[in-house]
Structure 1
């Protein structure tokens, strides 16, 4: 059974990382209000590994603009990607990880295609280079174990996770959920109208992506639900997937600027995943992750049903321009729904807030193993959802035998 806080809510609602047993020497919850840089004021020398869309558009500008970091190198084997990063103030643009010296960097940020996350991170960790890996941290439990072994062998720390729990509206949801008492059910969904990433690229190639919308969007959703449920284990998992839109060119994610966005695709992954999960103490979670649908806008929604009321957050995760105008958080009790004020923040602010936390985590040896533990739990759930979906399809192929027995 998962432990509950004194307020009656499931432990882990407020902080995006850690639980109430993980406190810094200052007495605060680790990672909630982290300092910029370390206590000496030195910057974190950082290498960006992967210069594709995420590396160039999400990580490089935020690292370069953050006072706690100094971008000293970028690494990508693709000459076109290296050319695209040129002129952006990076002192060294390299073609191979072996060109990156251990003493040259304090942190490597891995933003490569999914299938390279674990292998690249493991190579760096084994050499003693601390690593931050964006989601998905790994594509299966075997990769998670490799990362764990590499972290132990090299003595460097692995940091990981999605930025969604650092959104101001999500943090407000956590606070409201804690006020409403024990959670009974959580409904989470990230449904895009037209948002299939890539145009015949690695995103829709299972051998390189590890999966479709479940791996891409579902990891964010599971990472966001995690702090509300604490360490509760999912005892029951049922999943279903479909691929009705993945190869329709007109449903591509236009904001990514992918080439040939209107061309039909040849993807072999799902564009929609649905799941229903039940924890060991009876809390249920329904999940939907969709790259494309028939709705007009890209919308992310969380509904938290608790003993003393219901909290609902409607917003848009990510960078889509086809988004809800503003986030809306409400509390419903005894038939009355009232809005909860939310701060206004620019799109992508959660990534900068996540970067705020990393220097303190880098300096904390007690945190070693925490990130891989979280990644192991997340990928295990994703694997079980895919396994359930496969089993259901196999069962549907077995013809009913009339008059058997």
Structure 2
């Protein structure tokens, strides 16, 4: 890539998420020297809609797109992340993969191996890290305001929110799993991010499929459209995650539940704690002191409503332009998330806790 030329970026997978990424990229063109150069999808209707919306060429073959771009954002069904990411990385193209890194742990390992050997940078799209209240919480944690954080409650629960019943979201072969691998990946990543990604040693988990396959499933709205395919994935999961430093995470995720929705993270430290509600951006810090008189102090934090996807893209653009591996949303961290999800599924199958191997991850130079 000529550093004097705009950074050319393509989108692989032109569905709802792909179009959303394209919209964010176009909004950044005035601030960054970039261009949306094209897109790729196997569906003609998706290509036609993308061309009409963004005025760029689209391709049925990803290799043709890769001849025209410096970087790609991959937003396909999980099963195809490996194919498109490895092909790009082998051509030294920079890659941003929408979470998860892949649909299975074996596939994720192959992406990591390709990233380690590539001159292109690779970043994984866990955008919630870039939400303003999350960044405030993380800064306070780094400043030791909470002391030693020993436990995090991580919840991502929808009352009715099965995405696209009968589409790739609910077909295990294409997705790799259901609620756990979809929204659970976000919850696991954010909890581990707050804890500075300690080594995970053991996972005890249960997955369930209760609502999604029922013919009387009642909902008010749905992400995407219903399809005619199977529903053979989990729609909820609970897990307890142990780390080598003694910290723990309790995880509760669901696409559907007979309860109010909840996207809450509760941080417990020995000096202070916090409650973060990602659904509305509320962040409260809980502290106590004997200064003057014994008392509790609850501090509400207000932040600007910045779009975390745009900030994530900015970091990807900066890493791509500098040809330097990002220090956030790394392949290594995404592999840890994938291993926790894999261990949760295995724990459910075996009916007992599963140890996670501590073998070193591939190094990304």
Task: Say whether residues 1:234 and 2:196 are aligned partners.
Answer: no
Task: Say whether residues 1:350 and 2:308 are aligned partners.
Answer: yes
Q: Secondary structure at the match of 2:48?
A: helix
RMSD: 2.5
Tell me by how many angstroms 1:266 deviates.
Answer: 3.4
The residue aligned with 2:50 is 85
Tell me by how many angstroms 1:41 deviates.
Answer: 7.5
In the alignment, the residues of structure 1 paired with residue 222 and residue 160 of structure 2 have an alpha-carbon distance, to the nearest angstrom, of 10
In the alignment, the residues of structure 2 paired with residue 92 and residue 118 of structure 1 have an alpha-carbon distance, to the nearest angstrom, of 24
2:338 is aligned, of 372, 376, 379, to 379
CA contact (8 A) 1:51 1:76 kept: yes
2:70 is aligned, of 106, 122, 134, to 106
Q: Deviations over 1:50-80 (max 9, x none)?
A: 0112112x21111121122311101001112
2:273 is aligned, of 287, 310, 316, to 310
What's the TM-score once normalised by structure 2's chain length?
0.86
Distance 1:231 1:301, change over 3 A: closer
CA contact (8 A) 1:53 1:256 kept: no
1:166 is aligned, of 111, 127, 130, to 130
The residue aligned with 2:281 is 327
CA contact (8 A) 2:51 2:57 kept: no
Tell me by how many angstroms 1:365 deviates.
Answer: 4.4
In the alignment, the residues of structure 2 paired with residue 171 and residue 99 of structure 1 have an alpha-carbon distance, to the nearest angstrom, of 38
Q: Which runs of 5+ in 2 are unaligned?
A: 289-294, 353-365
CA contact (8 A) 2:7 2:321 kept: no
CA contact (8 A) 1:198 1:253 kept: no
CA contact (8 A) 1:241 1:270 kept: yes
Q: Deviations over 1:82-140 (max 9, x none)?
A: 122131123211111122243x2111110011111111111111122221101011122
The residue aligned with 2:170 is 204
Q: Secondary structure at the match of 2:186?
A: helix
In the alignment, the residues of structure 2 paired with residue 84 and residue 225 of structure 1 have an alpha-carbon distance, to the nearest angstrom, of 37
In the alignment, the residues of structure 1 paired with residue 235 and residue 226 of structure 2 have an alpha-carbon distance, to the nearest angstrom, of 19
Q: Which runs of 5+ in 1 are unaligned?
A: 1-37, 317-325, 394-405
2:300 is aligned, of 340, 348, 353, to 340
Q: Deviations over 1:308-364 (max 9, x none)?
A: 122111231xxxxxxxxx332222233725132221416xx1001111111221244
The residue aligned with 1:115 is 79
In the alignment, the residues of structure 2 paired with residue 65 and residue 253 of structure 1 have an alpha-carbon distance, to the nearest angstrom, of 31
In the alignment, the residues of structure 2 paired with residue 286 and residue 299 of structure 1 have an alpha-carbon distance, to the nearest angstrom, of 14
CA contact (8 A) 1:86 1:93 kept: yes
In the alignment, the residues of structure 2 paired with residue 231 and residue 307 of structure 1 have an alpha-carbon distance, to the nearest angstrom, of 19
Tell me by how many angstroms 1:378 deviates.
Answer: 1.2
In the alignment, the residues of structure 1 paired with residue 63 and residue 5 of structure 2 have an alpha-carbon distance, to the nearest angstrom, of 26
Q: Deviations over 1:9-65 (max 9, x none)?
A: xxxxxxxxxxxxxxxxxxxxxxxxxxxxx9977532111100112112x21111121
CA contact (8 A) 1:195 1:251 kept: no
Q: Deviations over 1:190-214 (max 9, x none)?
A: 1111110012000010111000111
Q: Secondary structure at the match of 2:193?
A: helix
In the alignment, the residues of structure 2 paired with residue 165 and residue 179 of structure 1 have an alpha-carbon distance, to the nearest angstrom, of 19
Q: Secondary structure at the match of 2:277?
A: strand
CA contact (8 A) 2:200 2:244 kept: yes
Tell me by how many angstroms 1:245 deviates.
Answer: 1.1
Count, aligned residues:
340
What's the TM-score once normalised by structure 1's chain length?
0.78
The residue aligned with 1:137 is 101
In the alignment, the residues of structure 1 paired with residue 277 and residue 323 of structure 2 have an alpha-carbon distance, to the nearest angstrom, of 37
- Comparing 174-183 with 193-202, greater Cα deviation is found at 174-183
Task: Say whether residues 1:273 and 2:241 are aligned partners.
Answer: no
In the alignment, the residues of structure 2 paired with residue 173 and residue 128 of structure 1 have an alpha-carbon distance, to the nearest angstrom, of 35
The residue aligned with 1:65 is 27
CA contact (8 A) 1:161 1:223 kept: no
The residue aligned with 1:388 is 347
CA contact (8 A) 1:49 1:75 kept: yes
